[in-house]
Structure 1
Amino acid sequence: MPTHFLGLTDAAVLPTTTYQLTARIIDDLVANLATGVIHGPAGTGKTFAVTDNLERLRAAGGGHQVVTCSLAFPSKPTMLRVAAELVHALTGSEPAASRSRFRLINHLIGLLASTPRLIVIDEAQRLNGECIELLRHLHDHQDTRFALLYVGGDGCWEVLSREPMLRSRVFRRLPFKRLDRAQVPALIRSYHPIYAAADDALLADIDAVYGKGTLRDWAVFTHTAAGLCREARTATIDADVAGNAYALLGGLGS
């Protein structure tokens, strides 16, 4: 079972189009040992969708015998840091401080030459051109066998697409977006039991005031509103509960 933001209990996974396409794209990347990009605004469900599918791959047998590895770097890391942290992620051991970037790259080629892998780079918008080129070099090497997925927030695709050598190699790309306002009531009604019998107008109002089409904001609101519903001994959110939730969350939003 996937872990929901804030440990929200009784929440269901929203079957958005992007959530469902994430599974297809990851499977395509693994099957073809290809490069892909998943990007979009913060809070739109990218990390949840990717993490859920990585768990699916780890739990699966049969045709999904692939080792997964996820890592993220601070803003504008050096090539040496990327190489060193990738070695650590793959082996569990810190490389010797005396090892040069070139020796680490040769070591990485050996590590990535046998078992098929999926390497996920989160917060990919933090990478600079040199680090992107390093990852492309590793992926393109004739001896390596791994799929490469970049995941990032605002500006991710702009950063990656500036590198022609990478852009021409992107096999799958999936942009996440905020929830369409017209679809919010139907989607959110299935998200948590407190919304099951709620009025469409109230759900649309919550989205306009606080949710803003982002799953993370809806999770925060739901965590708060569900607690208020329990205190009021009601199974369904109403305008009073919503108003009290707004107050606890800092007012009517911005």
Structure 2
Amino acid sequence: MTTGSAPPPHDRNDHCARPDGGDVVATEALQMTYANLKMALEERAMACMYGDSGLGKTAMVNAALRYLAPEETVHMSDCRPRRMRDGLFDALGLQRPRPRNSRECDNLLKTTLAERSRVVVCDNADWLPADCFEWWCHLWDDRHTETAIVFVGRADCFEVLAREPARILLWQEFKRMTLAEVLRVIPAYHPIWADADAKVIKLADRRIAHGNWRVWAYLTAHAVNALEQLQRRTVDEDVLRWALDRLCPRWPV
């Protein structure tokens, strides 16, 4: 995180495998996410966080926003055209009948977004068709709304939103961790890796994880179980082999 700031609180829901004892680690990507979202919030701008699956985009966005805007953030995960208005209506917690007319519904949404500062996280944004992106721009462009919008999606999210590149203030591409970063952050990510030999962590990353956060979360969950089943205290090559066989014995390497 930035100098002098506290790390965001941990939320196990950010991790697909949710291994007990896993922690939020201040990777380079998380620090960049924090800085970019801080600027997006200050400017009430639109930002796009994109990259391959499993690189921690949603987890890092959530972690940063829990620190930056815990009471202002609302989440949208369904980007299908027929669900956009209904999804935002529900995310904003509006306790009133939903207007059947789309224009009336949009007016109500804009009125609600103008009441106070908001951050809307639009996950799976790579599914957005052009007209849905224009709809988000329509809400954001309203001079009364005080809303930052964060689009999160896979690598092709860039192509989806780059049709209107001037609309997006910040673009952040998520990439796989390098081996050097893996060796630095994985021992801090979960206690089972703290005492593991570096060559075991290298082997795990070379054999299956390849710097992918989601795979490391899955592998950690299996390794925790392996330690219990094998009655071991440290992740060694035998424990790693046990975990790998159960994670996916035919995983491409």
TM-score range, shorter chain: 0.7 to 0.9
User: Partner of 2:105: helix, strand, or coil?
Assistant: helix
- Given candidates 55, 58, 72, the residue that maps to 1:44 is 55
- State the Cα distance separating 1:95 from its structure 2 match: 4.4
Determine whether 1:104 maps to 2:105: yes
- State the Cα distance separating 1:198 from its structure 2 match: 2.3
User: Partner of 1:190: helix, strand, or coil?
Assistant: helix
Which amino acid in structure 2 is aligned with residue 231 of structure 1?
Q
Aligned residues: 241
Summarize deviations over 1:101-128 as a string: whole Å, max 9, x none. 1121222221122211111111111111
CA distance in 1 between partners of 2:79 and 2:47 (Å): 21
- State the Cα distance separating 1:196 from its structure 2 match: 1.9
**Is the Cα–Cα contact under 8 Å of residues 194 and 226 in structure 1 kept in the other structure?**
yes
Q: Which residue pairs with 1:89 in the alignment?
A: 91
**Is the Cα–Cα contact under 8 Å of residues 18 and 174 in structure 1 kept in the other structure?**
no
Summarize deviations over 1:71-91 as a string: whole Å, max 9, x none. 12244x14xx32232223223
- Given candidates 24, 28, 34, the residue that maps to 1:17 is 28
What are the residue-to-residue correspondences of 1:138-177 with 2, within 5 Å? 138-162=139-163, 164=164, 167-177=165-175
Q: Please, what is the CA RMSD of the aligned residues?
A: 1.9
**Is the Cα–Cα contact under 8 Å of residues 120 and 150 in structure 2 kept in the other structure?**
yes
**Is the Cα–Cα contact under 8 Å of residues 87 and 93 in structure 1 kept in the other structure?**
no
CA distance in 2 between partners of 1:131 and 1:94 (Å): 24
What are the residue-to-residue correspondences of 1:1-16 with 2, within 5 Å? 1-4=9-12, 5=15, 6-16=17-27
User: Partner of 2:122: helix, strand, or coil?
Assistant: strand
Cα 1:96–1:185 shift into 2, 3 Å? closer
**Is the Cα–Cα contact under 8 Å of residues 30 and 118 in structure 1 kept in the other structure?**
yes
CA distance in 2 between partners of 1:246 and 1:87 (Å): 43
CA distance in 2 between partners of 1:223 and 1:83 (Å): 37
- Given candidates 220, 224, 227, the residue that maps to 1:226 is 224
Cα 1:95–1:156 shift into 2, 3 Å? farther
CA distance in 2 between partners of 1:82 and 1:210 (Å): 37
CA distance in 1 between partners of 2:226 and 2:93 (Å): 47
TM-score by length of 1: 0.87
**Is the Cα–Cα contact under 8 Å of residues 54 and 214 in structure 2 kept in the other structure?**
yes
Q: Which residue pairs with 1:133 in the alignment?
A: 134
**Is the Cα–Cα contact under 8 Å of residues 123 and 153 in structure 2 kept in the other structure?**
yes
**Is the Cα–Cα contact under 8 Å of residues 84 and 95 in structure 1 kept in the other structure?**
no
Mean CA deviation greater in 189-198 or 219-228? 189-198
**Is the Cα–Cα contact under 8 Å of residues 79 and 125 in structure 2 kept in the other structure?**
no
Mean CA deviation greater in 225-234 or 14-23? 225-234
User: Partner of 1:31: helix, strand, or coil?
Assistant: helix
Cα 1:84–1:192 shift into 2, 3 Å? closer
Determine whether 1:35 maps to 2:60: no
CA distance in 1 between partners of 2:96 and 2:206 (Å): 48
**Is the Cα–Cα contact under 8 Å of residues 30 and 64 in structure 2 kept in the other structure?**
no
Q: Which residue pairs with 2:3 in the alignment?
A: none
Which amino acid in structure 2 is aligned with residue 100 of structure 1?
N
**Is the Cα–Cα contact under 8 Å of residues 246 and 252 in structure 1 kept in the other structure?**
no
Q: Which residue pairs with 2:248 in the alignment?
A: 250
CA distance in 2 between partners of 1:43 and 1:94 (Å): 37
Q: Which residue pairs with 1:70 in the alignment?
A: 75
CA distance in 1 between partners of 2:87 and 2:241 (Å): 47
Where structure 2 has 5 or more consecutive residues not aligned to the other structure, the ranges are 1-8
- State the Cα distance separating 1:159 from its structure 2 match: 0.6
**Is the Cα–Cα contact under 8 Å of residues 88 and 94 in structure 1 kept in the other structure?**
no
Q: Which residue pairs with 1:206 in the alignment?
A: 204
Identity across aligned pairs (percent)?
Answer: 29
Q: Which residue pairs with 2:4 in the alignment?
A: none
Summarize deviations over 1:204-239 as a string: whole Å, max 9, x none. 111122212111111111111122123334332111
